[in-house]
A and B are shown apart, each in its own frame.
Chain A
Amino acid sequence: MNQAKLDNVLILFLRLGAFLCFAGWTWVHFYWEGPYGIFLWQEKTYAFVSGFGISWDQFVGTGANDGLVQKWIARMAWLYLACTVLTLTVRNKSWLQMAALLGGSVLLTILSYAKYLASQRELPMFIEHGGQMLIPVLLVMAMVLGVRHRVTVVTAMIAFIMTFAGHGSYAVGLWPTPSNFYGMITVILQVEYGTAQAILYTVGLLDFLVCIGIFIPRFRCASALYAAIWGLLTAIARPVAGMSWSLHYWGADQFLHEALIRAPHFLIPLYLYFLWRVPRQAESVVKNPESLMKSPDMANPPPLAPSVLTDKQLKHNETL
């Protein structure tokens, strides 16, 4: 595969990650409810809105009807749907669409913060949403700066580290391990608690190791590949463990979106893996891998493999 095609594939990973993530959250907002209760269903928020002459019944509804809280939480679904569509339509110079996608990233950040508050401020809860919060930003960066630009790659690495360090913090027990971590392992692998505990601890350590591994040129490909596989497995573990023929819609409405919103957890590592995987023809001329890190275009330094660069990339590199 030549670099241009590869770049398109890399963008496709980011686009797909953002699309699935937004699609999953759209479903949550449309079918279930966004996790903003922690902000809205409290006296202080009401005290604030009551200053605008809004009564309590208007704010939260009477039960026979919806209040502002329910209506606006439901309306958030449209914002997420718009972001989902934008992930498909956004192109290189669609500035408005890109700005809207960055707004989508803000939405995801607010959402992640709400989950963090709801978890009684467990830091990993916010941190592990890094991949989801940053995937729209990554897509925009890839469009504007280039899929191999230093800032794009560093942002992807931050998203990677946040996701896996957050997950690892829970898995090794730095913060209380969420119960469903054990549950999913127990159900899917049919193992006892002790084994599930050992597995979780091991994969938690590996979560941290791959965060370090992506800084070591020798291990970064393997780290990214492992993270992609593990990210995929943890994403699909939700529907695999929870869905059943005996449930309405086989439980798809309960569990499938759990996999979708986690798409960045495997697509960002996959992006990094393909970015860092040195093509065989280039391998022969790469004598000093360290230089890759020093180049502004971290994964594709032009002096090392000019033969595989496209005109567009050469032009792009000249502008740096």
Chain B
Amino acid sequence: MNFLKYLTFCIGAFAIVNTAFAQSGNQGRSRDAILTIPEVEEKDIICFALYTVHDQTLKLTAQLYPIAEGETKTVRLEIEKDDTWVEVAQTTAIEPGWTAPFRVENWDDTQAHKYRVRHGKEATYKGVIRKNPVDKDEIIVAGFTGNSIRPGHGGDISRQDIIDNIKRVDADVLFFSGDQVYDHFKHYAAWLKFGRDFGEIIKDRPTLCLPDDHDVGQPNLWGESGKVSTLSGASDGGYARPGVYVQEVERAQTSHFPDPVDPRKIGQGIGVYFTNLNWGNIDFAILEDRKFKTGPAGRVPKQGPRPDHIRNPDYDPTSVDVEGAVLLGERQLEFLDQWAQDWRNADMKVALSQTIFCGGAHIHGNANGRLHADMDSNGWPQSGRNRALRALRKGFAFHYAGDQHLATIFHHGIEEHRDAIWSFCVPSIANLYLRWWEPLEPGLNREPGAPGYTGDHLDGFHNKVTNFAAANPEKNPAGKLLNTRSAGFGIVRLNTRTRHITMECWPRNVDITDPTTQQYTGWPRTISQFDNYNPPSWGKLGELTFNVEDPVVQLIDAKTNEILYTVRANGRTFNPGAPQGKRFIIKAGRDAPDQIIVEQAEAGDQARTIRL
């Protein structure tokens, strides 16, 4: 009896203390967004469908609600031909996750096709497989990240504004860069909710979703080729959730991607999905910048209160650039090397990945807090970051990413400022965790009238970066308002005729086609495709005039035989940039650089006429 009294007292005391400390913004489960799987009728069992078309192959994944015991798991894909529905593929829904992946080869992408996914006798889900928009001058890619559904910061606010805006601009591709799901244990339920929220726009256009750390159930991710992580926070590298969970996540989010270029599995049976998607003459590299990355704990000297955080501003940045630390990994770098040289059916190249190649924020947290450097960013390891940027600039690739909860535009540098690619990090759909780009010193070489935070900087790892825009949230953002927390989405317009890339950064709950609607400060910004590898110190090799339109040109160092870059020229003329004081071999061709056109070119050469 005494024991019971004692126990009751303890529980009572805990309850009182708990109530006393209760914070209005975090009232536990009762206020968390509800992630229950709704009971649906048999006719509604197909939640949504995602697809891509690449190289005449359609890959479509239908996402189903749970199929009842005894019901068929066979799912069918039908295409409308001459007002008749024709079955083109069948598949079996895979548990766990109830995903139904289809693959249809010899796909005719020169015209749009109405499709419907069917299950049993009643369930039907309809959409449109678009024609490949090769005849369009401008390809619009809508970019999203950070789909928090928590009410505390507006995650429970309807996504209808996003749906409406995507329909208004009729985006050609949707890109969700990561954290589509924040729940670390219920990916399936959260993925169904994602489908209910975005399925209306996803079903009719190619969509790419890159699973990031929260999607696979951990706060940060350094995948280390599938190692098992056991350290709280997972900075020891590897996956915290079991391999089967990660497989389920990747099956749901990426099984509709074009086939991986190097499908060898990593540890725990986890697959890879890095590959490319060619759509509308834009060649997208789909990267996994977490999967092979080394975890910092125990690998780098401790510089802060967490193994992955550097708080000491006087630390030696070279001390953390340790030998053996991997970012993209050899397999992806090899892929990028090939991808940068391959310009078949491509006018422009875009790299899609989870996050940007620098430490793109100074202040982290839901209130404030300066952090010198964060190893969760792609600024670390520096050598790996530089290798990635070197690979990407060889193809003049523009980088489109997310994850930071802070929209930014950076022009990256390796040997000098602005000698590599541009990146656009999109804002969060609903911003769970605030960050600010707020350097202590104003940037150098800023544009006239530009804020002090823009210009040339060194990030916390001493990577060279040039900031052109940052959608910093308010210092004390009000309650649930999305836009005080800089929520929103990105639009990138890739003009294959002018080779211009326009970045737009839109807040939530606005009409982006209304001319009076303002974007976040610093947007829009338009750059040339060729700005993605145009170091300030370079000279020009002399204008080349070709007898064909848009030839592919390749520059090779005459001494080392290393390929400097490969690119498709715009029109019949091209004036290649190159380092001063070196000699280069120039190759060119209609679709591949298969012909040497100049043997010993150097900066300052005269113009030439080339016949291919």
Once the chains bind, are A183 and B240 in contact (CB under 8 Å)? Answer: yes
A126 cross-chain contacts in B, Cβ below 8 A = 14
B70 interface contact, C-beta 8 A: no
Q: CA separation between A204 and B476, bound complex, in Å?
A: 44
Once the chains bind, are A63 and B371 in contact (CB under 8 Å)? Answer: yes
Q: Is the interface of B mostly helix, strand, loop or mixed?
A: loop
The closest CB in chain A to the CB of B27 belongs to: A121
Once the chains bind, are B184 and A41 in contact (CB under 8 Å)? Answer: no
Q: CA separation between A253 and B244, bound complex, in Å?
A: 30
B29 cross-chain contacts in A, Cβ below 8 A = 120-121
Q: CA separation between A264 and B544, bound complex, in Å?
A: 77
Which residues between 306 and 349 of chain B lie within 8 Å of chain A, taking CB atoms? 306-307, 311, 313
- Stretch from B173-181, B225-233, B509-517 that touches the partner: B225-233
- Stretch from B41-49, B359-367, B424-432, B577-585 that touches the partner: B359-367
B6 cross-chain contacts in A, Cβ below 8 A = 154-155, 158
Mask: chain A, 19-57; 1 = CB below 8 Å from B; 0 = not: 000000000000111000000011110100000000010
Q: CB within 8 A of B242: which of A33, A70, A193?
A: A193
Known contacts: A60-B367, A121-B28. The answer to whether A196 contacts B232 by CB under 8 A is: no
Q: Is the interface of A mostly helix, strand, loop or mixed?
A: helix
A284 interface contact, C-beta 8 A: no
Which residues between 234 and 255 of chain A lie within 8 Å of chain B, taking CB atoms? 238, 241-242, 244, 246-249, 251, 253-255
Once the chains bind, are A254 and B367 in contact (CB under 8 Å)? Answer: no
Q: CA separation between A179 and B298, bound complex, in Å?
A: 20
Once the chains bind, are B244 and A63 in contact (CB under 8 Å)? Answer: no
Once the chains bind, are A120 and B26 in contact (CB under 8 Å)? Answer: yes
Which of the listed residues B32, B230, B298, B369 has the most CB atoms from chain A within 10 Å of its own CB? B230
B28 cross-chain contacts in A, Cβ below 8 A = 120-121
B301 interface contact, C-beta 8 A: yes
The closest CB in chain B to the CB of A43 belongs to: B367
Once the chains bind, are B242 and A196 in contact (CB under 8 Å)? Answer: yes
A63 cross-chain contacts in B, Cβ below 8 A = 311, 313, 362-363, 370-372, 440
Q: CB within 8 A of B306: which of A33, A70, A180, A247?
A: A33
B184 cross-chain contacts in A, Cβ below 8 A = 176, 179
The closest CB in chain A to the CB of B14 belongs to: A126
B302 interface contact, C-beta 8 A: yes
Q: CB within 8 A of A182: which of B32, B231, B242, B297?
A: B242
Once the chains bind, are A244 and B306 in contact (CB under 8 Å)? Answer: no
B299 interface contact, C-beta 8 A: yes
Minimum C-beta distance from B263 to chain A (A): 22
Once the chains bind, are A64 and B10 in contact (CB under 8 Å)? Answer: no
A113 interface contact, C-beta 8 A: yes
Once the chains bind, are A247 and B298 in contact (CB under 8 Å)? Answer: yes
Known contacts: A193-B243, A193-B244, A254-B231. The answer to whether A42 contacts B17 by CB under 8 A is: no
Known contacts: A120-B32, A241-B230. The answer to whether A186 contacts B242 by CB under 8 A is: yes
Q: CA separation between A194 and B230, bound complex, in Å?
A: 18
Q: CA separation between A117 and B372, bound complex, in Å?
A: 27
Minimum C-beta distance from B222 to chain A (A): 14
Q: CB within 8 A of A238: which of B230, B297, B367?
A: B230
Mask: chain B, 225-253; 1 = CB below 8 Å from A; 0 = not: 00011111000101011111000000000
B242 cross-chain contacts in A, Cβ below 8 A = 179, 182, 186, 193, 196-197
Q: CA separation between A43 and B301, bound complex, in Å?
A: 32
B302 cross-chain contacts in A, Cβ below 8 A = 31, 248, 253
Once the chains bind, are B366 and A41 in contact (CB under 8 Å)? Answer: yes
Q: How many residue pairs, one in A and one in B, have C-beta atoms under 8 Å apart?
A: 121
Q: List residues of A whose CB falls within 8 A of some B CB.
A: 31-33, 41-44, 46, 56, 60-64, 70, 113, 117, 120-121, 126, 150, 154-155, 157-158, 176, 179-180, 182-184, 186-187, 193, 196-197, 238, 241-242, 244, 246-249, 251, 253-255
Once the chains bind, are B17 and A242 in contact (CB under 8 Å)? Answer: no
Once the chains bind, are A41 and B365 in contact (CB under 8 Å)? Answer: yes
Once the chains bind, are B23 and A44 in contact (CB under 8 Å)? Answer: yes
The closest CB in chain A to the CB of B13 belongs to: A109
Q: CA separation between A150 and B17, bound complex, in Å?
A: 27
Q: CA separation between A249 and B297, bound complex, in Å?
A: 11
Minimum C-beta distance from B188 to chain A (A): 14
Minimum C-beta distance from B221 to chain A (A): 12
Once the chains bind, are B370 and A248 in contact (CB under 8 Å)? Answer: no
Minimum C-beta distance from B225 to chain A (A): 15
B194 interface contact, C-beta 8 A: no
B7 interface contact, C-beta 8 A: yes
B526 interface contact, C-beta 8 A: no
Q: CA separation between A47 and B302, bound complex, in Å?
A: 32
Once the chains bind, are A242 and B362 in contact (CB under 8 Å)? Answer: no
A41 cross-chain contacts in B, Cβ below 8 A = 365-367, 369
Minimum C-beta distance from A195 to chain B (A): 11
Q: CA separation between A179 and B245, bound complex, in Å?
A: 11
A182 cross-chain contacts in B, Cβ below 8 A = 241-242
Minimum C-beta distance from B313 to chain A (A): 5
B244 cross-chain contacts in A, Cβ below 8 A = 193
Mask: chain B, 17-45; 1 = CB below 8 Å from A; 0 = not: 11001010110110010000000000000
Which of the listed residues A120, A150, A238, A248 has the most CB atoms from chain B within 10 Å of its own CB? A248
Once the chains bind, are A154 and B2 in contact (CB under 8 Å)? Answer: yes
Once the chains bind, are A183 and B230 in contact (CB under 8 Å)? Answer: yes
Which of the listed residues B231, B302, B365 has the most CB atoms from chain A within 10 Å of its own CB? B231
A255 cross-chain contacts in B, Cβ below 8 A = 231
A43 cross-chain contacts in B, Cβ below 8 A = 366-367, 476
13 A-B contacts, Cβ less than 8 Å apart?
Answer: A32-B306, A43-B366, A60-B367, A60-B368, A61-B369, A113-B17, A113-B18, A179-B241, A180-B231, A242-B230, A244-B298, A247-B298, A253-B302
